[in-house]
Amino acid sequence: MKRIGMLTSGGDCQALNAAMRGVVKCLSNSDEQIEIYGFNNGYRGLIYGDFRMLTGQDFSGILTKGGTILGSSRTPFKLIREPDENGIDKVEAMKQNYYKLKLDCLVILGGNGTHKTANLLRTEGLNVITLPKTIDNDLWGTDMTFGFQSAVNIATDCIDCIHTTASSHGRIFIVEVMGHKAGWLTLNAGIAGGADIILIPEIPYDIDKIIEAIDARDKRGSKFTIMAVAEGAISKEDAKLSKKEYKEKLKNRQYPSVSYEVAAEIETKTGKEVRVTVPGHTQRGGSPCPYDRVFATRLGAEAGKLILSGEYGFMVGYKNREIVKVPLEDVAGKLKSVDPDATIVQEAKMIGISFGD
């Protein structure tokens, strides 16, 4: 008998359900007897013993369903060692609930913060296997995360829709794409949607370079410009500030986000009309695209295989088009960001896309 705990932590995204389904289907098709305990709302469920026994029926018909049947929540890693408002030791509580249920393994689906806590539980002696979830695709140790491609599709659709109104009115349009620390989503959606200017956190921008790119389009007879801007895009001036100084500046920023700040600067310097569109959480929602359904299912199946063979302490990742197992200690605390000299960036520049640098 294998007793498996399962939880989804952090921001939701497409294909969480598909990944969990892949794990359970793999285990169910083996000769091993299994029991699945689903913890509600991420690590919070593991801390407070909020769980329910799941059956095969719970995983039927969820391949195409977005979100997560277990619910999710954010439990910041920096606070994980601090007692809660009632004095409960969170780490000790998670361990006790693990042992109380006599679990053989925890399957944890999540992104960067989730993996830090998962690795902590590993060092505390728990058997853990993780699956790489994030629309940002910024998790170390894997070329791809599930949820990313679905989010690229949604952000690209938004840029596609903006093109017609931008060209009709001859305006500058900014589409703000999710991604605070990494620009993978903005970069891919920007290229796929035919954006003229792409701003990502890894390449600090110069507002004058952005205006030069807009003016160059005007001279070529293109009377509109599409900009894909990551929510974490940063100017060259701000990039020189310390983390503390930059956080303080953000607290006092008079604009809702960097996109509105860039829009205001362009309007002031050029007199041109700029509009901002923020698709926001729509990028996390809806049904997973076919790629993510296949990808998440494969990851889930390989996680099930590791459970059956008793191999714990790994993230199931994707490298060089193959599913691989990556030691959790190699993943936790590391960010996979866009290299400014990466070939995809250089190729985007070859076709005339400006990065404001």
- pLDDT-derived band at 300 (thresholds 50, 70, 90) equals very high
- Burial class of residue 264 in the structure, from the number of CB atoms within 10 Å of its CB (0-12 exposed, 13-18 middle, 19+ buried): middle
Give the residue numbers annotated as catalytic, written as ranges. Answer: 136
Specify the pLDDT at position 65: 94
Residue 301 sits in the same domain as residue 272: no
Share of the chain above pLDDT 90, in %: 85
Residue 141 sits in the same domain as residue 158: no
Specify the pLDDT at position 248: 82
State pTM to two decimals. Answer: 0.94
Residue 87 sits in the same domain as residue 58: yes
The β-bridge partners of 106 are: 5, 128
Work out how many domains the chain is built from and give that number. Answer: 2
**pLDDT above 90: residue 154:** yes
- pLDDT-derived band at 288 (thresholds 50, 70, 90) equals very high
CATH number at residue 6: 3.40.50.450
Residue 13 sits in the same domain as residue 142: yes
Specify the pLDDT at position 170: 79
- For residues 44-63, average pLDDT: 95
- Nearest Cα to Cα of residue 135 among 79, 87, 177, 193: 177
- Nearest Cα to Cα of residue 18 among 297, 258, 326: 297
Residue 102 sits in the same domain as residue 205: no
Specify the pLDDT at position 186: 98
Residue 127 sits in the same domain as residue 95: yes
Residue 88 sits in the same domain as residue 48: yes
- Burial class of residue 89 in the structure, from the number of CB atoms within 10 Å of its CB (0-12 exposed, 13-18 middle, 19+ buried): middle
pLDDT, tens digit (0-9, with 9 covering 90-100), for 177-219: 999 999 999 999 999 999 999 999 999 999 999 999 999 998 9
Q: Is residue 131 part of a domain?
A: yes
Specify the pLDDT at position 242: 85
pLDDT, tens digit (0-9, with 9 covering 90-100), for 230-280: 999 999 998 888 888 888 888 888 889 999 999 999 999 998 889 999 999
CATH number at residue 164: 3.40.50.460
Give the domain range for residue 196. Answer: 150-284
Residue 9 sits in the same domain as residue 141: yes
